[in-house]
Amino acid sequence: MDSYSLEQITDEAIIDELMGDYGQDILHLVLQYVHNFSLAEDLTQEIFLKCFKALPTFQYQSSLKTWLWRIAINHTKDYLKSWYAKNVETTADDLFAQIESGHGVEQQVLQNFQDTELATAVFTLPVKYREVIYLHYYEEQSMKEMAAILQINENTVKTRLRKAKQLLKKQLERA
């Protein structure tokens, strides 16, 4: 029988709790960057593996949530910069993989249709604007939390959010 140290058990319990609490949120965050559901699932798994390995180095200078978001954003951006992401075509998103078990297909398709115009506009934004839109509107993060997650000044967050709203407005008016 393998023996585990108390630290390993604690780390595993923390990662299990983080996955339970933030797994879907991290998946949606990653999806905002990569626009591919199965790829987002893979990257989310890699992110939690990375967190598990890095947990002993966590110094509690921020909340676990902020630390996790930072790892997720950096890992996803690193993937997008990689040779693989730039040179290997990925398949289109499987919309029906996102259908929640409690909703009918028709309802989900209608909701997707209604959100398509806004989602398309958001996806066309540069990453620095897309991430503040996502964190503010979908994750309901405060300006201070977004600044910590993105490791930028709070005023920069406000400026990017204002600019992102302006860009979205222009794009939606054109449509």
Residue 163 confidence (pLDDT) above 90: yes
Q: Token pair for residue 164?
A: 């992102």
pLDDT of residue 41: 92
Which residues, including other chains, have CB under 8 Å from residue 80's CB and lie 6 or more apart?
33, 34, 127
CA distances to 36, 116, 128, 137, 165 from 108, in Å: 18, 12, 29, 20, 26
pLDDT of residue 111: 58
The third-level CATH classification (topology) of the domain covering 103-175 is Arc Repressor Mutant, subunit A (1.10.10)
Q: Which CATH class is domain 1-93?
A: mainly alpha
Q: Token pair for residue 73?
A: 């954003």
Which residues of the chain form CATH 1.10.1740.10?
A: 1-93
Digit-coded pLDDT (tens) for 56-86? 888 878 888 888 999 999 999 888 887 555 5
Prediction pTM value: 0.56
Which residues of the chain form CATH 1.10.10.10?
A: 103-175
